[in-house]
Structure 1
Amino acid sequence: MDRRRFLASATAVGVSSLAGCTGGGGGNGGMDGGNEGSGDASGTPIAEHPAAANLDSQPILGEATDALIVAFEDPSCTLCRRFEQQTYPRIVSELVETGRASFVYRGLPIIYPWGEPASHVLEATFAADADAFWALKDHYFGQQSAFDTDNVYNRSQTFLASETDVDAEAVVTAARNGEADAAVELDLAAGEELGIGQTPEFYLFSDGVFKTTVRGAQGFSVFESVLGS
């Protein structure tokens, strides 16, 4: 997929007012208005919704199958980092670990350039070990300012070697060699179909059907209001 074409054609989707990082490499978090996309059809079954396409191949936390948060995030996005640090821990502890919802991560590297190789490393890591994937995802957001296009592979390998059980060199080599390209393209294709032009963006499902879209680094109460029952 041509990244410039994707960014040029994307429109923002969502019902909440806090915008996310906008595509195009600016990462400025400005407002990005747009038309309704294909993800706005409330009541669509999970299996028929573009956000849940290829769900079986995605990183998923939790055992719930009829209540999902499908998150489109970019490791380089500053508002994704805010969500990950302020809201994500409560989603895990109060919704995922209690069995009320599952959390699905989908990479959408459309902000700063280093998010693209980072997303490839994440997918290669997931192919090797799910626990290592979640650890690396947290590391990217926790140390976001330390990454750039020149160091992302080396820093990722150092972290994986010291903090996980995967063969770090093999994982990063796989990412460099394009072995994760297909997985990254699946998420980019889903993002394009949904018209996503900024991150983070979340698609919430409850009782097996789509409920609403949430845009930006929203607080826990926004997610709980839909999925907390």
Structure 2
Amino acid sequence: MTMAKPNIKVKKTRSNQSSKIMFWVLALIFVCFLALIFVVKNSGSTEASAINYTDQPFIGDESAPVSIVEFGDYKCPYCKDFNKSFKPLIEKELVETGQAKFYFMNYSFINVDSTRAAKYAETVYHELGNNAYWKFHNLLYDKQPDDPSYEQIDFYTDSLLKETLKEIATDEEAAKVTDAVQKGSYDDEWDKDMSQVKEAGIESTPTILVNGKKFEGQDFNDLKEMVEKEAKEN
């Protein structure tokens, strides 16, 4: 009986050791799994999407090393805030300094008039040029109501868009744009934007890409840092 005690103790010790080894093995596997998730997530977030910038409205020097793209919807209140607060900083500190050029591309998904407004804007760009486009673009956001419930109604009607058009164009130019809209002359340009939304995996507005890489920062300083890094690498 007394001889059996050491064997029991040894058996318990071995069992404890096995449990400890199993615990650390499982812990190591778990840590490796988390590391793998982090690496996959990180590599995905820095992967650049192939963006086609041809015939897209932009602000800045075409030779600027960095291309910033906003994918937006004219009915999106966050896009309105971006246009009012963020875009002026981009223009002043990144575009005017020659580091970047700024593009806007359509991701129209909120309501039927999101698409109508986007197609009008595309037509203004192709019929009247880049400067007229940005005036029209800014006016569309200026006219967006502050009440978020407006997203549920058809706000950007033909009549409102035509009136907005007259604020930046002559009667002759406005008639030219309206006629092209009715014919769907530039619907394929809107289609091109929406295809790029799908290819780049865009899921919300506004989404910002810097040289095709999704911006995941929190404020303008984060964006500026990302742009400066891209400018040095290009």
TM-score between the two structures when normalised by the length of structure 2: 0.69
Question: Residue in 2 aligned with 1:199?
Answer: 205
Question: Residue in 1 aligned with 2:12?
Answer: none
- Alpha-carbon RMSD: 2.6
1:120 aligns with 2:125: no
CA deviation after TM superposition for structure 1 residue 215, in Å: 5.7
* 8 Å CA contact retained: 1:39, 1:213: no
- Pairing of 1:42-121 with structure 2 (within 5 A): 42=47, 44=48, 49-50=49-50, 52-53=51-52, 55-63=53-61, 64-121=63-120
* Percentage identity across paired residues of the two chains: 24
- Pairing of 1:144-159 with structure 2 (within 5 A): 144-145=144-145, 149=154, 151-159=156-164
1:171 aligns with 2:169: no
* 8 Å CA contact retained: 1:77, 1:112: no
One-letter code aligned to 1:169 = A
Q: How many equivalent pairs are there?
A: 181
* 8 Å CA contact retained: 1:114, 1:152: yes
Q: Secondary structure at the match of 1:103?
A: strand
Which structure 2 residue ranges, 5 or more long, are not aligned? 1-39, 230-234
The CA deviation string for residues 116-152 of structure 1, in whole angstroms up to 9 with x for no partner, is 0000001000001211110111011111129863653
Question: Residue in 2 aligned with 1:22?
Answer: none
The CA deviation string for residues 154-189 of structure 1, in whole angstroms up to 9 with x for no partner, is 222222223335711221221232112100000000
Which of 1 and 2 has greater Rg? Answer: 2
Question: Residue in 1 aligned with 2:139?
Answer: 139
Which structure 1 residue ranges, 5 or more long, are not aligned? 1-34
Larger proportion of helix: 2
One-letter code aligned to 2:214 = T
Separation of aligned partners in 1, 2:155 and 2:79 = 21
Larger proportion of strand: 1
Higher relative contact order (CA 8 A, sep 6+): 1
